[in-house]
Amino acid sequence: MTRRSLRLAVSLGTALALAALGGLAWLRRPRETAVMRGERLAWRLGCLGCHGPGGRGGVANPGSADLEIPAWEGGLHAGGEGEIREWILYGLPRRRWEGDVPPARAVEGAAQPAPPLAMPPYEGRLDEAELGDLVAYVAAVGQAVEALPEAARAGYLAASRLGCFGCHGPGGRGGASNPGSFKGYIPAWDGPDHGELVLDEGELRAWILDGRIPRLEANPVARYFMRRQALQMPAYGKSIEEDDLDALVVYIQYLRRR
């Protein structure tokens, strides 16, 4: 080999290696869902200090009607996303006050003493995109089962009972972080990563039953990340009822179509 063609081969090799690394970085870019971003905001803004980890409640508020700060999980009082938005911005939904200015809460000398903890108004503390993400997260945690289409309910309940939401986030729409994984987090069922991980119903069932699928097992890069990630998709094959599996598939397919 001449010196010139050697140099050419080396620079070609370097270019190819760089392109491959660039391609891998592009594939690994995180594509989080609104619910994932909203969960991070809920921590950052202190929401979960009052509403409890995961919005599950349990924080005392002596003197309030329920003696606790309301949980979001299991259904909100707020009627829909518009009202969640108002709660966050003003600390009260619009229908609870008249005029243009939300009422100050601790009124000196009021007949009824206010409970020690009140919902703070966050207006001015987050931008429009953040507000949208936070509302999506609160709405996902506060999903009332009755509000789902009938066909999707059994799967939602099965996922909740089987512990799927602990890893895949509220309603399967978020995802815990996962050190060493390909994207850095556990994929949401309605997120953009699902399309790459699940091509058809056969693969969906295989994920749940075996915790893996043959297509990715055969791919050395995928296999590398799957082995080294801290949290693994569990294999539920031996511990799941046939009915629950069918219901989970229906629920996940419903989420994808929404």
Binding footprint of ligand HEC on the chain (CB under 6 A): 42, 45-47, 49-51, 61, 69-70, 76-78, 84, 87-88, 117-120, 122, 134, 138, 159, 162-164, 166-168, 178, 186-187, 189, 193-194, 197-198, 204, 207-208, 226, 231-234, 236, 248
Pick 16 or 231: Cβ nearer ligand HEC: 231
Pick 10 or 113: Cβ nearer ligand HEC: 113
Neighbouring C-alpha atoms within 13 Å toward the C-beta of 162: 26
Pick 4 or 95: Cβ nearer ligand HEC: 95
CB of 107 to ligand HEC, least distance (A): 14
Question: Exposed, middle or buried: residue 61 (CB in 10 Å: 0-12, 13-18, 19+)?
Answer: middle
CB of 197 to ligand HEC, least distance (A): 4
The tokens for 17 are: 């290696």
Pick 47 or 152: Cβ nearer ligand HEC: 47
Contact 61, 51 (CB under 8 A): no
CB atoms within 10 A of CB 156: 22
Give dist(CA 151, CA 142) in Å, integer: 19
CB of 242 to ligand HEC, least distance (A): 13
Contact 177, 230 (CB under 8 A): no
